Amino acid sequence: MFLKTKISRMIGTAVLATSVLLGAQAQAADFNLRAVANSNENDEDYDGLVVFKDFVESHSNGRINVDLYIGTQLCGNGVECLEALEYGSVDVYISTSGGASAMYPYVQVLDLPYLLRDDRIAETVFEGDFTRELRKQILEDSGDTVRLMTIGNTGGWRNFANTKRTVKSPDDLEGLKIRTVVSDLPQELVRSLGASPTPIPWPELFTSFQTGVVEGSKNGITDIMGMKFTEAGLKHVTLDGHAYMSALWYMSNESFMDMPEDLRKVVVDGFSALQQATFASPKRKSIQAYQDFAKAGGELYVPTPAEKAEFKKSAEPVYDWFKGNIKDGEKWFNLLAKSAADAEKQVDNAYANDLN
């Protein structure tokens, strides 16, 4: 008992000393940033934040301290966390386009299907002026309180998956009950392809596959295997890549502008490093996920270019819906489409030089 008590006291003393040291380091910093991701430590968002924290703290020589809050410690969802950015109780936050659409509906442009051809195109677009234009709009609509810093990735690409059959064309989706979030745009997409959108909360999806409440979903492979959906009967995945799973990274504009220019540059570079980390993380994690899917009896189908063009043509009503129902929808559609076309030209020019 004495030994146990003594060890406990030693551990307690060590923890206290560590806390004091960390507190002293935080106090020594000129700026302390509270960074939030409503996910977990297995997520690409966490990978990005770890890179951001290390980069910013080291390249600022300790003048900036970054505290990570993973989960719902400071705020519980997109609206709450974006409001926390506006009020100044959070300094850095990441959301999906769906998580921000209630406040900034036009960010749903990122969910429009088949506009971004592949990773190279998406990454080229999000490293360029499209993100800067989106930043200007969010700053304006938030009263200069919320600053979009960069757009990364969280989960790879959304693909159609189901429990019933191989899907090679929109006709194969006909009549399938496809799980969606409670949002108009993904439901419009499912309808345009002939399937039946069925909003189901994420925690209920496994059981919904088992019971047949839904027969399919729109998910990335890491989410499918992370949730063990194969055990609930999800066996068919079509790699149509209809939506890049964008991650919007914001910062309190007041926190950013309070810094001197040299530290603002460090922060901008830190978000660039974060972006690259989130671009890479899903690619690495998907390798094992695809292997596990195959071992579980899953079947992958890769559409031919002609088949993918058929999917895109069937999804065109979603573009019309976006233009007609979202304020300035046509502007944002055209901007993303042009940015994608410019990126394709850039990448195709690179192919012309690199393949010969």
Convert the pLDDT of each residue in 9-64 to its tens digit.
443 444 344 344 444 444 589 999 999 999 889 889 999 999 999 999 999 999 99
Round to whole Å and give the CA distance between 316 and 310: 10
Distance CA 93, CA 78 (A): 9
- Mean pLDDT over 175-199 rounds to 93
**Hey, CA dihedral for 326, 134, 340, 52, is it positive or negative?**
negative
What mean pLDDT value characterizes the chain? 92
Question: Locate tokens 């810094």: which residue?
Answer: 259
Residue with tokens 């429009």: 112
* 169 close to 194: Cβ distance less than 8 angstroms: no
Closest CA to 313 of 182, 140, 176, 193: 193
Q: Which amino acid is at 356?
A: N
Buried b vs exposed e over 145-162: b needs ≥16 C-beta within 10 Å? bbbbbbbbbbbbbbbbbb
- CA atoms of 215 and 207, how far apart (whole Å): 11
Name residues whose C-beta falls within 8 Å of residue 230's C-beta, 6 or more positions apart in sequence.
224, 293, 296, 297, 298
pLDDT score of 11: 36
Condensed to tens digits (0 to 9), the pLDDT of residues 93-130 reads: 999 998 899 999 999 999 999 999 999 999 999 999 99
Give the SS3 label for residue 200: coil
Quick: pLDDT tens for 307-355.
999 999 999 999 999 999 999 999 999 999 999 999 999 999 999 999 9
For residue 7, is pLDDT > 60?
Answer: no
Which CATH number goes with the domain that contains 218? 3.40.190.170
- Spatial separation of the C-alpha atoms in residues 31 and 259, rounded to whole Å: 8
Q: Locate all alpha helices (DSSP H) within 60-96, ordered by sequence.
A: 78-87
| CA nearest neighbour of 196 among 220, 214, 169, 218 | 214
What would the two tokens of residue 64 be?
């900036």
Number of domains in the chain: 1
Domain that holds residue 68: 2-354
- For residues 26 and 18, the answer to whether their CB atoms sit within 8 Å is no
- pLDDT for residue 219 is more than 50: yes
Q: 92: which strand partners?
A: 35, 251
258-311 pLDDT per residue, tens: 999 999 999 999 999 999 999 999 999 999 999 999 999 999 999 999 999 999
Q: State pTM to two decimals.
A: 0.89
Rounded Cα gap, residues 172 and 165, in angstroms:
8
